[in-house]
A and B are shown apart, each in its own frame.
Chain A
Amino acid sequence: MIARSLILCLFITGLVGLTTRRNLVKKAYALSIMNSAVVLLFVLEGSGIGDKAPLLGGSPGVFVDPVPQALMLTAIVVGVCVSALALTIAYRLHRIYGTLDADELKRLVGHE
């Protein structure tokens, strides 16, 4: 329960960061934090039903659930792809306007 509350806290930290931080790199940090919160949640919960890594052979014991682990491999990769793209776009924006501040950029782009 404590562990899950901490993960929840991590997730909310990321979301609040995404909302309140105006720096684009910080927004990318926030996305990465939210993503890792979900990864932690899946793996933590999936490990509750066993005491042994899902590798056949070796010591006796009950496996943890391999399904969330396999899913989270995909989620981690997707997360880093999103970060990479977000930062590349932020880099291009900085080259043009010389700032990473979201509100400032919105004003500079100046679309009505």
Chain B
Amino acid sequence: MTELILFLVCVGSAYALLSKDLLHGAIALSATSVLSALLFFILKAPDVAITEAAVGAGVSTVIFVWAIRETERKDRS
């Protein structure tokens, strides 16, 4: 289970870095945060899980989406 979640987190992160659409990247990162939070819960770290869910999936997604909306959505390079 741990390995599976970690693998998915790896895939999600790689997708976020490779995707041409920054918004898709932000959503992928948000999903990896939720997965990490689940993993923390499984690993008996409920405090870290709550923080990761609130911060990783919540606040930082808001900030990422804001930044993309205010700048540009496509990674042109």
Q: How far is the CB of B19 from chain A (nearest CB, A)?
A: 9
Choose among B6, B29, B33 the residue with the greatest number of A CB atoms under 10 Å from its CB.
Answer: B6
Q: List chain A positions with a Cβ less than 8 A from chain B.
A: 2-3, 6-7, 9-10, 13-14, 17, 21-23, 25-26, 28-30, 32-33, 36, 39-40, 43-44, 46-47, 50-55, 64, 69-70, 72-73, 76-77, 80, 83-84, 87-88, 90-91, 94, 99-101, 103-104
When A and B form their complex, which 4 residue pairs have the shortest distance between CB atoms, in order from nearest?
Answer: A87-B67, A17-B17, A6-B6, A47-B43
- 28 A-B contacts, Cβ less than 8 Å apart? A3-B3, A3-B6, A6-B7, A6-B9, A13-B10, A13-B13, A14-B13, A21-B17, A25-B64, A29-B25, A29-B64, A36-B52, A36-B56, A40-B6, A43-B43, A53-B45, A64-B44, A69-B47, A72-B45, A72-B48, A73-B48, A76-B48, A80-B60, A87-B67, A94-B70, A94-B71, A94-B72, A100-B71
